[in-house]
Amino acid sequence: MFMNVKRFLTIVSALLLILGTEAQAKVFLVSVGIADYPGTVNDLRLPAKDASTIAGLYAKNTKVDYCLLQNEKATIKNIIAAMQKVYKNADTNDIVVFFYSGHGYHGGFCAYDGNLSYGQVRKGMAVSKCQNKMIFADACFSGGMQTGGTSSQSTVNAAKKANVMLFLSSRSNESSIENPNMQNGFFTTYLQQGLRGGADSNRNRIITARELYEYVHNGVISLSGNRQHPHMWGKFSDDMPVMKW
C-alpha cells in the first residue's frame, strides 16, 4: 500500500527541519589554561597546552565561536569578559562550554591573578539561554566544588538550577596528574580523545554526556593507577549532546 502523498511530504518536511536544526547547532567555547603563574613556585607544565588542545579540537571539528586565554592573559577580569562576550550569542539548542586547566581550590579555579569561583563562572554562563551548558575542569581538588568547603551545598543547588553539567578531573582530595612526557594532562588527554570520537560508542556521530563520562572516567583511572577519579554531576540528561560531528 502506497503512503498518502500529503502525509509523506509532511514526514519529509519534519525530518528536514530536524536535520536542519542539528546542522545549525554551534559551540560557544571559552578555553582557559594557566601553566605560568606569577613567580615560579606554583608553575605547572601542561595547562596552557591543554587549553590550546581543546580550542583547536572544537575549531577543527565543529562550528565554533571561541576565546582562548593562556597564562598572564587568563585574569579574572579577562575570563569573565570573554564568557559574557562569547556566550551571549548562543541560541537555545547550541552548546556552551567552559574549559579550565590549572590550579584549583574547593569552590573554583585559580586564575592568573586570584580565585575565580564557580559562582562567577555560572554567572558568566547565565547570559545565554542555551540548554546545553558544560564545564570541563582539569584541576587539582576540582571535586571540591561539589563536596568541599562551606559553600558546597549552595554550589550543588546552583548547578542544578542552572542546568549545567560539570565534568571534574579529580576528587576533592586528589591531584590532577600531569606527566612531562605527555602533551596533555591525564584528564585532558582522555577528554580530547573522547571528543574526537573515541567516546562515540554507538557511532552515531553524537557524543553524549554518558558516553563521554564512561570513556574519560575509565581511561583516567587506568592511566593513573587508580590515583585519579574524574566525576560528572549537575542537572542534565545522560543523552545531552556534548559534541556533534
Find the CATH number of the domain harbouring 78. Answer: 3.40.50.1460
3-class secondary structure for 197-222?
HHCCCCCCCEEEHHHHHHHHHHHHHH
pLDDT category of residue 20 using cuts at 50, 70 and 90: very low
Total count of domains within the chain: 1
Residue 201's pLDDT is what? 95
Answer yes or no: is 139 within a domain.
yes
**Is 4 part of a structural domain of the chain?**
no
- Alpha-carbon distance of 66 to 40, in angstroms, equals 29
Instruction: Judge whether 79 lies within some domain.
Output: yes
> Is 73 among the domain residues?
yes
Q: Tell me, yes or no, whether 33 lies in a domain.
A: yes
103 lies in which domain range?
A: 26-244
Strand 164-168 with 114-117, pairing: unpaired
Measure the CA dihedral 8/10/14/20, to 10°.
90
pLDDT at 99: 98
pLDDT of residue 143: 79
In a domain, 220, yes or no: yes
Confidence of residue 161 (pLDDT cuts 50, 70, 90): low
pLDDT in tens, 186-242: 999 999 999 999 999 999 999 999 999 999 999 999 999 999 999 998 888 899 889
How far apart (Å, rounded) are the C-alpha atoms in residues 208 and 199? 8
Position 131 scores a pLDDT of 87
Query: Does 234 map to a domain?
Result: yes
Quick one: the chain helix, strand, coil %, rounded to 5?
40, 25, 35
> What global pTM score does this model have?
0.86
Tell me, yes or no, whether 16 lies in a domain: no
Under 8 Å between Cβ of 146 and 156: yes
**pLDDT beyond 80 at 146:** no
Digit-coded pLDDT (tens) for 77-104: 999 999 999 999 999 989 999 999 999 9
